[in-house]
Structure 1
Amino acid sequence: MKEAKVHVLRVSPPSPEGEDTIAVMLNAKDMPNQEMREVALRQGHMSGFVFPTPVGFEFCHYEIRFWTPQCELVRCSHVMIGTVWLLSKLGVTLQDNLRILTKCGLMDARSTKAVVNTDSTKGATWDI
């Protein structure tokens, strides 16, 4: 399977505890578990994978799954925040309010456009 683009984001500023850098794939349709784990391993960061919603969940906008290099997580707040931000930033979704399916259940997310754009990139990493 041809690998889709991996976006790298820094969700919060670096601190002594580390930096909340994540990897996000916006089109993970048909991607098997092992491949998601391998992407997280190659990137070396927690990673978010966006899927179309499965049958029976058409009332949701997306399914998002979270992986570390070791295993899948049922939830991960900073990966969710970064993934929703990226969907909005790149214009993938035009809606402000999203309903998202995750392994831990349904989540609602809301994104609003900032009046002043403070986002920046350093190399290939988005700072949000």
Structure 2
Amino acid sequence: MAEWEWEAATVDQLLDVQIYAADGEPLGKVDDLEFTTPSDGGAPVLTAILCGPSAFGPRLGGLVGLTVWAIGRRLSPTGSDPVRVPMTQVDRVNRREIRLRESARPLGTHRFADWTREHIVCQIPGGSR
């Protein structure tokens, strides 16, 4: 269970909060949230944090949001699915940051950066240094 360092949080307060791996490496920001409604009909429960262009684009809406989503979908090695961080991986939440229990590699948050480095940056003369 994640440790919450403030008593009341709304969706607006969680969006755009920086996400860090356990080792302090920044992973991105909260672009959307996933809620699940319990089978007994209770209140929705926060089950995952979503990040990446395919989560941020729909939040923006309109032509700009569609463009962000399409570019992210096109360049992402995983297609149109956003990076999903289950709440079981979250260690601590406060107003400034969300800290995960482990490194980011198993979650796949580096796929876009790795792809960009391999296919774009390394193709530039001197880009492999």
User: What TM-score results when the alignment is normalised by the length of structure 1?
Assistant: 0.29
Which of 1 and 2 has higher RCO (CA within 8 Å, sep 6+)? 2
Normalized per residue, which structure has more strand?
Answer: 1
The answer to which structure has the higher helix fraction is 2
Q: Which has the larger radius of gyration?
A: 2
